[in-house]
Amino acid sequence: MISYEEIKRDPAVNAYIKKADESLKALGYTEHCFAHVTKVAETAGYILETLNYTGKDIELVKIAGYLHDIGNLVNRIEHSQSGAIMAFRILSNMGMEPEDVATVVTAIGNHDEGTGVPVDAISAALILADKSDVRRSRVRNTDALAFDIHDRVNYSVKESNLRINEAKTLIKLKLNIDTRYGSVMDYFEIFLERMILCRKAAEKLNLQFKLIINEQQLI
């Protein structure tokens, strides 16, 4: 089986991730490079590991997490679908089993809130990991006066933590927001659709999704 570590070491994969992030940088988007994809991969792996999924499932979701944004190399619009097609070719050429390729491609193709659906556990974990990566260090703009709403929301998040409770019934996204830079309303304005998708993804994993901002439960 192709491993997550093999994918991380692949020069072509890393070139695509780097170039995709350069395209987003030119468009004014927050960081989508190695820090983001690695965090998504590791968080998705944590979710399935905590829920006692197989080692194979954990490897596949980490691979999906690492590859999930390569479609931005083509265009931001419908990047989940183009990324899925790219991943199909990359993984097939590396000799991954067709069933495993299909699982990863399905997850990547369904991670975006515009068109995505948590069709299985792998795609559900990827959605939760991706949509919970909100943090100050993703903001590239160094001029606070020039922040757009995405910059304000990400920069306002001083601490972000996604955890499953001990009983394995809840998954909680806890955010500590500095309201000098962005308000709770700002967060909902741009992330409500993402949070609804997170709730659906949690349900696919037989969990309840809770959003807690500054110690107040909002979802």
**How does pLDDT run across 41-52, given as a tens digit for each residue?**
999 999 999 999
pLDDT of residue 176: 94
Residue 51: which domain range? 4-217
Alpha-carbon distance of 178 to 189, in angstroms, equals 17
Walk along the chain (219 residues) and give the pLDDT tens digit of each residue. 899 999 999 999 999 999 999 999 999 899 999 999 999 999 999 999 999 999 999 999 999 999 999 999 999 999 999 999 999 999 999 999 999 999 999 999 999 998 999 999 999 999 999 999 999 999 998 888 888 888 888 999 999 999 999 999 999 999 999 988 888 888 888 888 999 999 999 999 999 999 999 998 887
Q: Give the pLDDT score at 118.
A: 98
Unique residue bearing structure tokens 């909680």: 172
The answer to whether 4 and 100 have CB atoms below 8 angstroms apart is: no
- The count of structural domains within the chain is 1
* Residues composing the chain: 219
Query: Which two tokens mark 201?
Result: 């993804």
What is the model's pTM? 0.95
Q: Which of 64, 94, 79, 72 has its CA nearest to residue 16?
A: 72
Q: Could you write out the DSSP letters of every residue in the chain?
A: ---HHHHHH-HHHHHHHHHHHHHHHHHTPPP-SHHHHHHHHHHHHHHHHHTT--HHHHHHHHHHHHHTTGGGGT-STTHHHHHHHHHHHHHHHTT--HHHHHHHHHHHHT-STTT----SHHHHHHHHHHHT---GGG-----GGG--HHHHHHHHEEEEEEEE-TTSSEEEEEEEE-TTT--HHHHHHHHHHHHHHHHHHHHHTT-EEEEEETTEE--
Q: For residue 54, what is the domain's CATH number? A: 1.10.3210.10
